[in-house]
Amino acid sequence: MIVRPAYACALALLPAPAAAASDPAQTFAAFAAVCADTRVDYPAVAAAADAGKWKPTEVRAATMEGVAVTDKISRDAKAGGADLTLFAWRGMKGAIQVSACTVRVGRSKAADLRERAQAWAGFAPQDADAKKATFRFTDDAGARKPLAKADYDAAAAGAGMEILTISADGQDAILDLLKIKK
């Protein structure tokens, strides 16, 4: 094929095709399978990641200040056209058990994942702005029960208090599920 110089210049001026956005249903389902459906139980998170063919990777991520971390894993996977990076850990702060499961979703809109999270949780986030949404809940006979601030201590002393945060980070989204149990 012969491309004439005038056409070559015109082709060079065309914008590059945009990278396809990820499928929020598939990416949230991947997060839910390893983090949410396991209720942030570290052995269950690790087993779900292994069963879901997440590949080991090295991630340097911060944990919660003051928590003595006893176990942590990091994994990579792909879902819904997005690169996913998992970082999960558990530890103790005195007598309080703390565990977290975080998935960074490449090329994803946090707002789309927020909608998926709200459908999954069954209630609206207690705190939300354009870049971040936070859902606080506890397990109530297998269902997620939203928590008011006055309920935090009782939830942590019972089934545990869970905090799901969806936030935007440039072109990526971060889904973070933290569990605190006394």
CB 144 within 8 A of CB 137: yes
Would 12 be classed as within a structural domain?
A: no
**Count of domains observed in the chain:** 1
Cβ-based neighbour number of residue 62 at 10 Å: 7
Q: Could you read off the pLDDT of 112-146 as tens digits, one per residue?
A: 999 999 999 999 999 999 999 999 999 999 899 99
Stretch 22-45: mean pLDDT, rounded? 96
Give the SS3 label for residue 164: strand
At residue 20 the predicted structure's pLDDT band, cuts being 50, 70 and 90, is low
Asked if pLDDT for residue 3 goes beyond 80, the answer is: no
Would 13 be classed as within a structural domain?
A: no
Would 73 be classed as within a structural domain?
A: yes
Would 14 be classed as within a structural domain?
A: no
CB 105 within 8 A of CB 84: yes
Show the domain range for 158.
21-181
At residue 151 the predicted structure's pLDDT band, cuts being 50, 70 and 90, is very high
Would 7 be classed as within a structural domain?
A: no
Report the DSSP beta bridge partners of residue 75. Answer: 56, 86
Would 4 be classed as within a structural domain?
A: no
- Closest among 165, 24, 27 to 85, alpha carbons compared: 27
